[in-house]
Structures are given as structure tokens and as C-alpha cells.
């Protein structure tokens, strides 16, 4: 059992943050790694990236968007209640190296994952340009936190309600024009956003790391539901990733596989409110 | 043995064989000749005193019978159900030469079920030795080692990556072949022996083997992580939605209870026409699970060799046929065909013929040119075997492995190249049977005991 110590609604009814007591995981987890959790006995296993950790108090932080039954259940949990199973750390940590100037791009709740990485990149002395975006102002998360670990921060909204009016990819194009010396890009967010980012960084070429979000069950490499095609080869995102070279990922296949259970996801949600 | 009627049972996940009645068990036990040199014992990978326990059944001492079995086998209700007895104990039974062999598996199951119904006795715990053993993996091999170590008085901690204990017994073998309640009860027995179980612990990620020895101060480690890496066929279209590894399909249905969706949250893979590729027990399990899933109209099995070359237990093949699985033998998939939305809508196959024997001694299947045809289907499950999972070794583990990735351990003792570390079961041999994994653990246990007593 994994008790919840703190809970925060980051964007009303959409994005939620939980601090969970999981001392062994807190000691080991590195930026880019994730956990799999199961809320209760009848629950499903879902993957969530660890957004932050505090090994001294033995806690990890997860941030999630409420998109279906399990995330809704998770949001309903109160401080002091438990999550039945939390397993991790899983996946390969993101390679954090000093390259000079990097650009970190995050969309929606992807910013939660990006934050942990950006912190790592910033702390070892990279010059960090961060571009974060969401549909509208109320869905922007971690703005202050990102500001503290970036040399430059651009906030975008699709509807122009806050900051730069447009997609993160548009802001990225401008940033590349201004900073031809960008050595590396990291992009985390919905599949269409990552795909569009990679289209931008293809010419002029900037190595781009993406964090993939396929369906997972066990998260330990035993089932292959999270398989993705990278550079023409099948990879398991849970053990070989979730980070991959964005220029080599088959995003269309990923998007297609993500739709496998759309019907049943809806059915499950409707059944739970009946 | 009485069984559920095939027409009824394809609509439920209840166990198919119903078990022997007491009078049937007694009659069967009386068939045993009580050979002075019982060959059946040699045929059993953990060498249960078969003659001894059958004699107790003859004397109506069922508790005595179970006690004899549990001296060497801590999972009798499991083994009685899933062992391929026809190539083990029962294949050696002298009666098999003239009539049919004594139904040893059914008798083992009978006494184990009797004990469970009567309430399992709490075993007396031995004096603690002060030594501690870490076991990685709670499948059949890990559970057997746990029992052996606990009986010897060592402290035992079993680390399991999943949220449930039992390994393949809970995520792989379906409910209708091995009720999960039984696995739970057998594991409860181990808990009463003092074994500590830790779920949600991925060794290699949370702790490495080195850390178990050096920081967590275990005196010995037994690696029994199994062969849980699914193999795919590497044919075009294999990543289309609707194509599953057998591990994924069975994990969803068994471990996550997706067959009870939406009462359980994990979505169940649904098909109208399902194709299972492979000829082992796992393929049979997938096909039979598919028949029971709501909405399935037809299940087809595609296997590249001939029927008598199928590695599955004959009882499982028989059950699958009885229940209506359509067999496409000497057939091999070449391409997954997807519809406009990207979903599976067919599996292109090619007919095969048998050529010269290969390394395994079986005649090699060779494609017949121009014989391609398409099976109309909306789900494909690939059950062509598994390999060793890398996750435990990713962060570095000194244990030497062979070119296939399995642990290079001594065949007799399971000793690895690393001091204080043993390994057994599928992570050493590749996918084999439940009972062979248990046998490996029993053999390794002897040496670990010796090592610990001298340490």
C-alpha cells in the first residue's frame, strides 16, 4: 500500500498532482523513468512518469490528466488514502549530458515529465530554452517551476489566452532562428505534438529526444503491448525507452496503437458512473 | 475423470476436469502394483514418493498421503493439474505397458484438494538458522525454493515484480485449467512456513542482485525470473492493433481479469474471428480463452508443423478440439493484413510440407511455393515461445549468461558464476514446464543449504 501525502489540483478538474510515500522508489528513480500503478483490487495498471522525487522524505510526485476511469479514480483519492500498487522505477533514465544549448518542449501534461528532465539538464550546466504549451491558459502547468530552471521560457496557448499565441512548434521555429547553436531538443507531449516537433528539427537537423506514451500493462518487458517501431526495428518502450530518437520513431503507428481500446475506455467510464 | 460438458464449459471460465470422487480415487489407487522398484518416482522431476502416497490412499489415510507428497512437493494441487504426466511419472508406470498407467496426476490432485477442503494444517517451523535467502521471482521455481529454504530454517524473502504472486501460474495458465484460488492457497501455506513475499519489486530496477547481497545482507540469492520475453514473428504488419503476444493476451485475461470487464478495469481484447499462432500449451490456453471471451464466433489455430509434433499436452489439444478450435496444421503466417483503419482484417499464411529432420530431431517444415491463402480474422495472438527478459540485467549484473541470454548455471546444482548466487527454472533452461522448474529448485536447494551451513 502506498499512502498519498499531498494532493494538488493543478488545473481545475483536468490535471492533478499527488505526492506518494514510496521510499525505495524515491531512492532509485532518475529523470525519465516511470512507475506503473493500480488504484484498487479491480483496477487496471497504468504507467505514469515520475515528475519529481524527494529521497530524504521518501516520496515521489506524479502528475496526471483526468482522461478516463482510472485517472478519475485516482483524482478521487484523498490525502491519507492508499494506492494499492506502485511499481518502479521502470524504463531507462533520460541521458542527461552537457551539450551547451538545449531546447525543451512540453505540451499539456507532458510538461510534468519535461520538468524533471529540464531540471537535470539545467543543473549540469546546459543553457536551457524551454517552450511549454497547452490549449488554453488554465491548462498551463508548472510555469514558475520551469522558469526557475530555464534560461529562457516561452509559454504558448493555442487560443492565445496567455503568452505566445500558437503551437509550441511555431515558437520552436522562432527559437531555432534566433539560436542557430541549439545542440539538442527534448520533446514531450501528445503524439501529434511530438511528431510535429520532429518535423521542425529535421532541417536544420537537431537531435531530438521524445518520450513515447504507448499503452502498457506490466511495464517490465513481458508482454510487448508497448512495442513501437524505431529505425525500422520493434522496440519495447517500457524497457528500451520510453525515450527514443524522435527522428526515427514511427509516430503514425504509435497513434494507431493508442486507439486500440477507445471504445472500451468509454464503456468503462460510463459503467463506473452508472 | 469427470469433466464439464464441452458445450457448457466454453461459456464459462470454471475448471474443466472436475476431479476424482473418493470412490474413484480409491479404485484407481488400488490399481497400483506397489512395485518394489517404482519407476514412476524416477519419472517425477521432484521424485515424489508416489508408491508411498498411493498406499496411504489405499489405507484411507488421505492426510498421510498429502504429508508424503508435501515432503518433496509444496505445490501438489498445481502439479496434479498442469504437469505433463504422460511424459513424466505416468510414462514410467509399469501398468502402461499392458493397459493404461495409474492416474498419478489425478490422485495427487485428489489428495491436495481433499487437504484444502479440510483446512491446511499449520506446519511446525524449524529453529531459525539466522541465515537469509533472497529469491527473485515467485513462479513455480521460486516458490519451491522458498519452501525448501523455509523448511531448513532460513529466513526467506521472495521478490516479485507483478502485483500478484505465482508467476505463470497466475498470469499465464487460465482459470479453467488452474483456478487462481488454488494457487493462492498453496502460497498461503508458504506464508505459514514463514516466507515473506514482496510484490511490486522489480529486481534490477529497485535493487540489483549485488545490492541484495552487499547492502540488504542476504547470504544467498536464487534467481528464478523465468523466460518472460515474448517472441514475435517479424512479419510485415505485426504491429497493427489487434495483434497480441500470448503474454499480453493471457496477462490481460488472467492476471487482470479482463474477462470480467467492465467489473474489472482492464479492457478485454475482443474478436469475432481469432487466430492463434503456435502449437504449445500457451497456444492452447490462448485459443481456449478466446472461445470463452464474449463475442468470439470462431477460433483458428495455425501451426507450422504436423499434429503429432505439437509440444502441447495431449489432454490440452484434445480439450481444444472438443471445444471447437479449428486447426490449420502445416501452415505458417507470412503477413498480417490490416484494413483502412489500420486494424487486423486477415492473416496471410502459406502451406508447409515436412522435409528432413532438423536439430531437434523433428522433420523440418518447408513452405510450399504458391500455396498462400488468407485467413479472415480480426485478432491474431502470437504464441510461438518466449525468451529471457533483459530487465534484471539492464543495470548490470555480474552473472554470466549464454549466447541466447539465459543464465549460465551448473546443470546439476544451478550455481552461477557469481559467489552466493544460484539460478533455476526457465531463466536457465528456456521455456519448459512447471515441474521442471520446481525440480531445478529442489536440486539447487541442497547445495544452497550446504553453502549456508558452512558460511
Written as tens digits, the pLDDT of chain B (455 aa) is 788 888 888 888 888 988 899 999 999 999 999 999 999 999 998 899 999 999 999 999 999 999 999 888 888 999 999 888 988 999 999 999 998 999 999 999 999 999 988 887 777 888 999 999 999 999 999 999 999 999 999 999 999 999 999 999 999 999 999 999 999 988 998 999 999 999 999 999 999 999 999 999 999 999 999 998 999 999 999 999 999 999 999 999 999 999 999 899 999 888 999 999 999 999 999 999 999 998 899 999 999 999 988 999 888 999 999 999 999 999 999 999 999 888 999 999 999 999 888 887 778 899 999 999 999 999 999 999 999 988 888 887 888 999 998 999 988 899 999 999 999 999 999 888 888 898 899 999 999 999 998 88
CB contact under 8 Å between A224 and B266, yes or no, is: no
- Strand-pair category, A85-90 with A34-38: antiparallel
| Contacts across the A-B interface (CB distance below 8 Å) | 115
Nearest by CB: B389 against A221, A265, A272: A221
Stated as kind and residue range, the H or E segment containing B426 is helix B426-429
What is the per-residue pLDDT for B74? 84
CB contact under 8 Å between A221 and B232, yes or no, is: no
Interchain CB contact of B241 with A (< 8 Å): yes
ipTM of the complex: 0.92
CB contact under 8 Å between A257 and B162, yes or no, is: no
At B353, is the secondary structure helix, strand, or coil?
Answer: strand
At A265, the pLDDT band (50, 70, 90 cuts) reads confident
Closest CA to B338 of B407, B441, B239, B256: B239
**pLDDT (average), residues A254-260:** 91
Q: Which positions in chain B touch A83 (Cβ < 8 Å)? A: none
pLDDT digits (tens, 9 = 90+) for A103-137: 999 998 899 889 989 999 999 999 999 999 999 99
Q: How far is CA B423 from CA B46, B220, B378, in A?
A: 17, 11, 41
What is the per-residue pLDDT for B118? 87
* Distance of residue A229 Cα from the nearest chain B Cα, in angstroms: 8
At B105, is the secondary structure helix, strand, or coil?
Answer: helix
CA distance B320 to B310: 13
* Distance of residue B261 Cα from the nearest chain A Cα, in angstroms: 8
Q: A227 with A214: CB under 8 angstroms?
A: yes
Contacts with B, A 179-208, CB within 8 Å: none
What is the per-residue pLDDT for B358? 82
Closest CA to A236 of A140, A50, A92: A92
What is the per-residue pLDDT for A273? 73
Q: B42 with B355: CB under 8 angstroms?
A: no
At B258, is the secondary structure helix, strand, or coil?
Answer: helix
> Residue A268: is its pLDDT beyond 90?
no
Q: Burial code of B79-96, b = ≥16 C-beta within 10 A, e = fewer?
A: bbbbbbbeebbbebbeee
CB atoms under 10 Å from CB of B167, counted, come to 28
At A274, the pLDDT band (50, 70, 90 cuts) reads low
Nearest 10 degrees: Cα torsion B249, B251, B252, B256:
170
3-class secondary structure for chain A? CEEEEEEEEEECCCEEEEEEECHHHHHHCCCCCEEEEECCCCCCEEEEEEEEEECCCCEEEEEEECCCHHHHHHHHCCCCCEECEEEEEECCCCCCCCCCEEEEEEECCHHHHHHHHHHHHHHCCCEEEEEEEECCHHHCCCHHHHHHCCCEEEEEECCCCCCEECCHHHHHHHHHHHCCCEEEEEEECCHHHHHHHHHHCCCCCCCEEEECCCCCCCCCCCCCCCEEEECCEEEEHHHHCCEEEHHHECHHHHHHHHCCCHHHHHHHHHHHHC
CA distance B1 to B21: 9
Looking at chain A, which residue has its C-alpha nearest residue B264?
A: A42
Interchain CB contact of A215 with B (< 8 Å): no
pLDDT digits (tens, 9 = 90+) for A189-200: 999 999 999 999
- Strand-pair category, A59-65 with A45-54: antiparallel
Phi, psi of B254 (to 5 degrees): -90, -60
CB contact under 8 Å between B229 and A85, yes or no, is: no
Phi, psi of B4 (to 5 degrees): -65, 140
Task: Report percent pLDDT > 70 for chain A.
Answer: 100
CA distance B191 to B220: 20
Could you tell me which residues are beta bridge partners of residue A230? A233, A249
* Distance of residue B60 Cα from the nearest chain A Cα, in angstroms: 41
Angle between helices B314-323 and B281-292 (to 10 degrees): 20
* Distance of residue B333 Cα from the nearest chain A Cα, in angstroms: 18
Nearest by CB: B200 against A86, A92, A224: A86
Contacts of B55 (CB under 8 A, 6+ apart): B29, B32, B34
CB contact under 8 Å between B232 and A225, yes or no, is: no
CA distance A168 to B433: 53
Looking at chain B, which residue has its C-alpha nearest residue A227?
A: B239
Kindly tell me the sign of the dihedral angle through the C-alpha atoms of B252, B255, B258, B263. negative
What is the per-residue pLDDT for B128? 92
CA distance A104 to A142: 14
Contacts of B47 (CB under 8 A, 6+ apart): B41, B72
Find which of A223, A231, A257 to mutate to test the B interface (most B CBs within 10 Å of its CB): A223
Contacts of B345 (CB under 8 A, 6+ apart): B337, B338, B339, B376, B377, B378
CB contact under 8 Å between B251 and A220, yes or no, is: no
Q: B333 with B304: CB under 8 angstroms?
A: no
What is the per-residue pLDDT for A272? 76
Closest CA to A265 of A101, A46, A21: A46
Q: B35 with B51: CB under 8 angstroms?
A: yes
Q: Which positions in chain A touch B238 (Cβ < 8 Å)? A: 234
Nearest by CB: B241 against A85, A223, A257: A257
Interchain CB contact of B172 with A (< 8 Å): no
Q: How far is CA A96 from CA A115, A184, A188, A235, B154, in A?
A: 13, 11, 15, 21, 43
CA distance B146 to B190: 7
Interchain CB contact of B240 with A (< 8 Å): yes
Phi, psi of A72 (to 5 degrees): -65, -40
Please state, rounded to an integer, the average pLDDT across all residues of chain A: 92
What is the per-residue pLDDT for B374? 96
Nearest by CB: A28 against B163, B206, B342: B206
CA distance A90 to A10: 25
Interchain CB contact of A259 with B (< 8 Å): yes
What is the per-residue pLDDT for A226? 96
Q: Which positions in chain A touch B396 (Cβ < 8 Å)? A: none
Nearest by CB: A222 against B230, B239, B242: B230
Closest CA to A213 of A46, A38, A86: A46
Q: A50 with A29: CB under 8 angstroms?
A: yes
* Distance of residue B238 Cα from the nearest chain A Cα, in angstroms: 10
Q: Which positions in chain B touch A220 (Cβ < 8 Å)? A: 161-162, 202, 228, 389, 391
Q: B142 with B158: CB under 8 angstroms?
A: yes
Amino acid at each position: 500500500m502506498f499512502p498519498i501525502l499531498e494532493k494538488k489540483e493543478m488545473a481545475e478538474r483536468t490535471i492533478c498532482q499527488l505526492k506518494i510515500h514510496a521510499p525505495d522508489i524515491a531512492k532509485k528513480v532518475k529523470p525519465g523513468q516511470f512507475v506503473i500503478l493500480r488504484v484498487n483490487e479491480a483496477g487496471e495498471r497504468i504507467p505514469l512518469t515520475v515528475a519529481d522525487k524527494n529521497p530524504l522524505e521518501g516520496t515521489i510526485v506524479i502528475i496526471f490528466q483526468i482522461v478516463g476511469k482510472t485517472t478519475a479514480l485516482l483524482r478521487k483519492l484523498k490525502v491519507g488514502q492508499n494506492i494499492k500498487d506502485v511499481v518502479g522505477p521502470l524504463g531507462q533514465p533520460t541521458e542527461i549530458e552537457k551539450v551547451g544549448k538545449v531546447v525543451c518542449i512540453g505540451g499539456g501534461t507532458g510538461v510534468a515529465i519535461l520538468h524533471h528532465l529540464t531540471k537535470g539538464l539545467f543543473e549540469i550546466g546546459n543553457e536551457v530554452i524551454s517552450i511549454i504549451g497547452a490549449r488554453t491558459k488554465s491548462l498551463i502547468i508548472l510555469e514558475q517551476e520551469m522558469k526557475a530552471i530555464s534560461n529562457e521560457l516561452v509559454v504558448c496557448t493555442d487560443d492565445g489566452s496567455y503568452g505566445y499565441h500558437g503551437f509550441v512548434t511555431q515558437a520552436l521555429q522562432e527559437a531555432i532562428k534566433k539560436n542557430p547553436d541549439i545542440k539538442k531538443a527534448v520533446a514531450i507531449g501528445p503524439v501529434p505534438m511530438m511528431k510535429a516537433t520532429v518535423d521542425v528539427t529535421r532541417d536544420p537537423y537537431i537531435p531530438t529526444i521524445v518520450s513515447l506514451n504507448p499503452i502498457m500493462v506490466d511495464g517490465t518487458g513481458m508482454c510487448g503491448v508497448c512495442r513501437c517501431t524505431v529505425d525500422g526495428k520493434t522496440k519495447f518502450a517500457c524497457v528500451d525507452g520510453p525515450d527514443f530518437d524522435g527522428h526515427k520513431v514511427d509516430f503514425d503507428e504509435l497513434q494507431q496503437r493508442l486507439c486500440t481500446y477507445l471504445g472500451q475506455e468509454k464503456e468503462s467510464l460510463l459503467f463506473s458512473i452508472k | 475423470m469427470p469433466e464439464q460438458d464441452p458445450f457448457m464449459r466454453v461459456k464459462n471460465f470454471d475448471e474443466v476436469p472436475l476431479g476424482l470422487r473418493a470412490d474413484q480415487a480409491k479404485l484407481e489407487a488400488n490399481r497400483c502394483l506397489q512395485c518394489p522398484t517404482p519407476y514412476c518416482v524416477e519419472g517425477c522431476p521432484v521424485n515424489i514418493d508416489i508408491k508411498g502416497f498411493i498406499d496411504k490412499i489405499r489405507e484411507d489415510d488421505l492426510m498421510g498421503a498429502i504429508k508424503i507428497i508435501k515432503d518433496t512437493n509444496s505445490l501438489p494441487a498445481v502439479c496434479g493439474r498442469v504437469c505433463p504426466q504422460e511424459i513424466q511419472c505416468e510414462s514410467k508406470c509399469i501398468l502402461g505397458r499392458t493397459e493404461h498407467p495409474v492416474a498419478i496426476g489425478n490422485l495427487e490432485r485428489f489428495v491436495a484438494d481433499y487437504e484444502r477442503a479440510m483446512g491446511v494444517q499449520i506446519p511446525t517451523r524449524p529453529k531459525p538458522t539466522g541465515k537469509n535467502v533472497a529469491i527473485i521471482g515467485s513462479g513455480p521455481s521460486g516458490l519451491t525454493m522458498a519452501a525448501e529454504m523455509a523448511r531448513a530454517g532460513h529466513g526467506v524473502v521472495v521478490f516479485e515484480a507483478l502485483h500478484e504472486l505465482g508467476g505463470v501460474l497466475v498470469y499465464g495458465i487460465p482459470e479453467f485449467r488452474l483456478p487462481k484460488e488454488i494457487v493462492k492457497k498453496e502460497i498461503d501455506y508458504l506464508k505459514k512456513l514463514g516466507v515473506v513475499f514482496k510484490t511490486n519489486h522489480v529486481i534490477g530496477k529497485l535493487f540489483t542482485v549485488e545490492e541484495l547481497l552487499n547492502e540488504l545482507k542476504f547470504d544467498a540469492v536464487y534467481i528464478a525470473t523465468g523466460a518472460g520475453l515474448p517472441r514475435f514473428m517479424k512479419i510485415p504488419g505485426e504491429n497493427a492493433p489487434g495483434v497480441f503476444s500470448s503474454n499480453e493476451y493471457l496477462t490481460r485475461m488472467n492476471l487482470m481479469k479482463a474477462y470480467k470487464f467492465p467489473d474489472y478495469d482492464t479492457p478485454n481484447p475482443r474478436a469475432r474471428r481469432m487466430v492463434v499462432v503456435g502449437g504449445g500449451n500457451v497456444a492452447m490456453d490462448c485459443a481456449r480463452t478466446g472461445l470463452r471471451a464474449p463475442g468470439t464466433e470462431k477460433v483458428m489455430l495455425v501451426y507450422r508443423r504436423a499434429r503429432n509434433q505439437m509440444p502441447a499436452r495431449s489432454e490440452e489439444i484434445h480439450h481444444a478440439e472438443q471445444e471447437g478450435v479449428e486447426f490449420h496444421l502445416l501452415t505458417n503466417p507470412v503477413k498480417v493484413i490490416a484494413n483502412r483503419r489500420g486494424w487486423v482484417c486477415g492473416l496471410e499464411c502459406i502451406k508447409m510440407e515436412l522435409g528432413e529432420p532438423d536439430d531437434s530431431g523433428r522433420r523440418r517444415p518447408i513452405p510450399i511455393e504458391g500455396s498462400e491463402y488468407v485467413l479472415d480474422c480480426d485478432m491474431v495472438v502470437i504464441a510461438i515461445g518466449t525468451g529471457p527478459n533483459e530487465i534484471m540485467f539492464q543495470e548490470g549484473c555480474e552473472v554470466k549468461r549464454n549466447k541466447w541470454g539465459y543464465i549460465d548455471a551448473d546443470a546439476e546444482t544451478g550455481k552461477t558464476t557469481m559467489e552466493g548466487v544460484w539460478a533455476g527454472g526457465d531463466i536457465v533452461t528456456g521455456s519448459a514446464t512447471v515441474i521442471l522448474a520446481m525440480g531445478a529448485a529442489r536440486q539447487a536447494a541442497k547445495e544452497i543449504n550446504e553453502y549456508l551451513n558452512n558460511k
